[in-house]
């Protein structure tokens, strides 16, 4: 599905028109294993980057479905992205939620743009893959990195904690359909 939608929080509406795509989950394109999934998504992001800057996306994965939310209108509006993603996590049938896109980093390891995939499940487990983007040099990408909760790594700052926030603040995304077709 693709169409304009108004997105509202439980306690305070913040109408924003977003592009939302929904479909059945194709396990060839989105494998079941979380490490494989995050790495596959990073490869897909890399392929998209070779054609131009992709729009930041929130993914909500169910057992057999995928919802993809375009985050750019929220970024442009200065909305609380963490709250929005937590609201997505609070939705019915969502098992995994995450972000895919290019983020700016100021870490000690790399300062600048990074291609990032971060996924989190309701029990707090998370998986993170990223590659620095070197613009103006011979190669577009640096070395891929991978961390996870299962590996005992610290969670990256600013990412995750969405399920805990959804539970503690009773967040659940409510979508009012405006002018698209829902299948």
User: What pLDDT digit, counting tens, does each position of 61-80 carry?
Assistant: 999 999 999 999 999 999 89
d(CA 181, CA 183): 6
Position 8 confidence tier, pLDDT thresholds 50, 70, 90:
very low
Say which residue the tokens 């613009």 belong to.
Answer: 135
- Between 73-87, 122-136, 169-183, the lowest mean confidence (pLDDT) is in 169-183
**Average pLDDT in the chain:** 83
Report the domain count for the chain: 1
CB 43 within 8 A of CB 54: no
- Between 26-30, 75-79, 109-113, 130-134, the lowest mean confidence (pLDDT) is in 109-113
Classify the C-alpha dihedral 140-117-75-177 as positive or negative. positive
**Closest C-alpha to 56, from 48, 121, 64:** 48
Would 65 be classed as within a structural domain? yes
Mean pLDDT of 95-112: 78
Mean pLDDT of 131-143: 70
Q: What percent of the chain lies above the pLDDT cut of 70?
A: 80
Q: What is residue 124's predicted lDDT score, i.e. its pLDDT?
A: 92
d(CA 70, CA 17): 10
Q: What's the domain range around 99?
A: 4-177
d(CA 4, CA 19): 5
Residue 53 in this model has a pLDDT that exceeds 50? yes
Would 55 be classed as within a structural domain? yes
Residue 1 in this model has a pLDDT that exceeds 60? no
Would 72 be classed as within a structural domain? yes
Would 182 be classed as within a structural domain? no
């Amino acid at each position: 599905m693709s169409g304009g939608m108004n997105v509202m929080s439980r306690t305070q509406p913040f109408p924003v028109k977003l592009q939302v795509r929904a479909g059945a989950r194709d396990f060839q394109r989105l494998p079941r294993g979380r490490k494989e999934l995050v790495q596959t998504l990073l490869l897909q992001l890399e392929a998209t980057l070779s054609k131009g800057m992709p729009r930041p996306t929130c993914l909500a994965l169910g057992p057999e479905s995928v919802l993809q939310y375009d985050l750019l209108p929220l970024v442009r509006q200065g909305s609380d992205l963490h709250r929005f993603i937590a609201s997505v996590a609070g939705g019915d049938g969502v098992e995994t939620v995450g972000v895919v896109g290019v983020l700016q980093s100021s870490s000690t390891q790399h300062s600048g743009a990074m291609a990032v995939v971060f996924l989190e499940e309701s029990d707090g487990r998370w998986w993170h893959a990223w590659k620095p983007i070197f613009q103006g040099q011979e190669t577009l990408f640096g070395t891929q990195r991978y961390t996870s909760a299962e590996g005992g790594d610290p969670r990256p700052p600013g990412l995750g904690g969405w399920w805990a926030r959804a539970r503690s603040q009773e967040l659940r995304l409510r979508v009012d359909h405006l002018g698209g077709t829902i299948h």
